[in-house]
């Protein structure tokens, strides 16, 4: 069973098509049946409000269906308290028989936003989604603010906000504490502004895995600022399949990331992994994904692993313009002082703080490790 206290959702202007899948969707509330008109002119605000109210008040599994079309909406406010969606995940997490039963259906994603434009989704809380809590696909000019996502850190596949094929997306002030990526971005993510994220537990903020299929859309233009990570497995991660198809990742900036005293269990605070191959089913090889112009600035805190900065590159596509500026990550564990691990990256020269720390060649061999009590790197080119 699914319980929803109140659904608070603001749509501004147009909505192309949007499916809210709540729980294991069976009871369907189709806006067309309540008189919605998808002509781009008729004001559908009242209809949508009624449909959401009906869905929220009914018990059991439900789906609000908004068929493809252009719906004119005034800002709709259905609120009092912030909206809470309880996915009732624990009832399903232990029943996952898909490994034994090939006909087993995937568990539902709690909220799907598909083909939405010019919208704002605000003050929503997802608790214990059965599968991914928020999936954003083919959206444009959408702002998500104050989205809170909660699930136990040992829950399967929960994650946070997942984006794909979407552009001009803002994710502001979310709190995400689950298992999986707090925010993850797949091919076609462009101009993404992520700000004031409180992440952890979870896997940090991730780009990828990229290069899985042919003709993947590029990934570009991320601004990730003022985020804190607490007890996450990774911090800022870019991953491409080891044996990949060609694509491009460029213009990513990660700035003012505060890990001080809050990131005690992070494995790799900064990682670019172009050798991603987590299972036996994937092939090793040289990634054909070109990574260019990635900036890490003002990142500080503690690392629970010795390798605070880990760059696993592709010999086929050396990365270009990776900037590490004002990074101070300390490690207090048993293995000694913090280290960075660095391989094939082009045009890296050593910084001022540690004149002997990095030289051009120290980053050209695979996995060379240098050790310092704290790591302060500035690369210029
Ligand atoms: C999970 O299994 C329990 C007991 O085996 C059952 O009562 C429950 O209905 C199942 N949940 C789902 C979502 O199938
Ligand atoms: C169910 O388990 C399979 C593998 O056993 C896994 O691939 C799948 O993601 C799981 N699904 C959920 C929703 O946990
Ligand atoms: C940074 O984030 C914190 C909360 O995570 C917030 O209180 C603070 O105002 C943010 N700073 C800026 C400049 O946005
Ligand atoms: C990427 O960044 C470079 C340098 O800052 C800039 O010249 C270029 O226009 C950017 N590309 C895109 C597609 O934003
Ligand atoms: C680096 O961080 C440590 C611990 O957080 C702090 O003691 C040290 O002063 C910092 N170093 C610089 C140069 O900011």
pLDDT per residue as tens digits for the range 64-77: 788 878 777 775 55
C-alpha 106 – ligand 3 centre gap (Å):
37
What is the chain's mean pLDDT, rounded?
A: 74
Residue closest to 175 by CA, chosen among 125, 240, 246: 125
| 27-30 and 13-15 beta bridge pairing | unpaired
Cβ-count burial of 116 within 10 angstroms (0-12 exposed, 13-18 middle, 19+ buried)? buried
Confidence of residue 13 (pLDDT cuts 50, 70, 90): very low
Cα 57 to Cα 3, 37, 45, 351: the distances in Å are 9, 23, 18, 60
Confidence of residue 99 (pLDDT cuts 50, 70, 90): low
Say whether pLDDT at 306 is over 50: yes
92 lines ligand 1 (CB under 6 A): yes
Nearest CA to ligand 3 atom 11: 226
Worst-scoring range by mean pLDDT, 216-230, 306-320, 361-375?
361-375
What is the distance between the alpha carbons of residues 305 and 56, in angstroms, rounded to a whole number?
A: 45
C-alpha 249 – ligand 2 centre gap (Å):
29
Active-site residue set: 203
Residue-level pLDDT at 189:
97
158 lines ligand 2 (CB under 6 A): no
Nearest CA to ligand 4 atom 5: 251
What is the distance between the alpha carbons of residues 238 and 272, in angstroms, rounded to a whole number?
A: 5
C-alpha 108 – ligand 4 centre gap (Å):
38
- pLDDT tens digit string along 20-54? 444 444 688 899 999 999 888 888 888 988 888 88
The residue to mutate among 91, 93, 106, having the most atoms of ligand 1 within 8 angstroms of its beta carbon, is 91
The residue assigned the tokens 């700035």 is: 255
Q: Which ligand is nearest to the CA of 227?
A: 3
Max intra-chain CA distance, the chain: 71
251 lines ligand 4 (CB under 6 A): yes
Contact 261, 221 (CB under 8 A): no
Nearest CA to ligand 4 atom 8: 251
C-alpha 36 – ligand 4 centre gap (Å):
42
Residue-level pLDDT at 369:
26
Structure tokens given for 377: 């790197």
Torsion angle of alpha carbons 158, 160, 164, 168, nearest 10°?
Answer: 170
What is the distance between the alpha carbons of residues 349 and 324, in angstroms, rounded to a whole number?
A: 11
The residue assigned the tokens 């790197």 is: 377
Structure tokens given for 375: 């790591």
Residue-level pLDDT at 151:
95
- Ligand 2 atom with the shortest distance to the CA of 131: 13
Q: Which ligand is nearest to the CA of 95?
A: 1
Helix (H) or strand (E) holding 229: strand 219-229
Q: Which ligand is nearest to the CA of 351?
A: 5
157 lines ligand 2 (CB under 6 A): yes
Structure tokens given for 125: 């809380």
Average pLDDT over residues 367-379: 30
Tell whether pTM > 0.85.
Answer: no
- Ligand 1 atom with the shortest distance to the CA of 24: 13
- Ligand 2 atom with the shortest distance to the CA of 96: 1
Confidence of residue 153 (pLDDT cuts 50, 70, 90): confident
Worst-scoring range by mean pLDDT, 112-126, 161-175, 187-201, 223-237?
112-126
Say whether pLDDT at 168 is over 90: yes
């Amino acid at each position: 069973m699914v319980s929803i206290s109140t659904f608070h959702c603001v749509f501004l202007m147009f909505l192309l098509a949007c499916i809210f899948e709540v729980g294991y969707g069976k009871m369907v509330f189709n806006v067309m049946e309540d008189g919605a008109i998808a002509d781009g002119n008729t004001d559908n605000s009242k209809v949508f409000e009624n449909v959401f109210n009906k869905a929220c008040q009914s018990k059991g599994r439900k789906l609000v269906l908004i068929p493809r079309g252009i719906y004119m909406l005034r800002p709709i406010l259905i609120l009092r308290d912030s909206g809470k969606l309880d996915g009732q995940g624990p009832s399903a997490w232990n029943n996952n028989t898909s490994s034994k039963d090939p006909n087993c259906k995937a568990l539902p994603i709690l909220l799907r936003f598909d083909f939405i434009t010019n919208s704002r989704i605000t003050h929503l809380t997802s608790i214990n989604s059965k599968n991914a809590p928020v999936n954003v696909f083919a959206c444009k000019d959408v702002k998500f603010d104050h989205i809170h996502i909660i699930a136990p850190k040992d829950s399967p596949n929960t994650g946070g906000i997942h984006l794909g094929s979407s552009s001009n997306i803002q994710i502001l002030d979310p709190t995400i504490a689950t298992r999986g990526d707090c925010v993850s971005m797949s091919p076609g993510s462009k101009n993404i502004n992520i700000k004031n994220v409180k992440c952890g537990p979870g896997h940090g903020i991730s780009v990828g895995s990229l290069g899985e299929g042919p003709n993947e859309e590029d990934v570009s233009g991320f601004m990730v600022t003022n985020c804190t990570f607490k007890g996450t497995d990774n911090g800022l991660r870019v991953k491409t399949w080891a044996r990949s198809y060609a694509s491009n990742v460029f213009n990513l900036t990660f700035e003012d990331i505060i890990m001080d005293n809050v990131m005690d269990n992070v494995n790799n605070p900064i990682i670019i992994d172009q050798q991603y191959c987590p299972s036996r089913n994937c092939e090793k090889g040289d990634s054909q994904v070109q990574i260019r112009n990635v900036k890490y600035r003002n990142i500080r805190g503690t690392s629970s692993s010795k390798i605070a900065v880990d760059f696993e590159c592709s010999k086929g596509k050396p990365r270009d313009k990776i900037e590490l500026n004002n990074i101070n990550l300390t490690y207090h564990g048993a293995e000694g002082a913090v280290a960075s691990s660095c391989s094939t990256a082009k045009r890296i020269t050593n910084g001022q703080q540690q004149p002997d720390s990095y030289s051009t060649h120290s980053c050209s061999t695979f996995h060379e490790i240098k050790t310092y009590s704290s790591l302060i790197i500035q690369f210029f080119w």
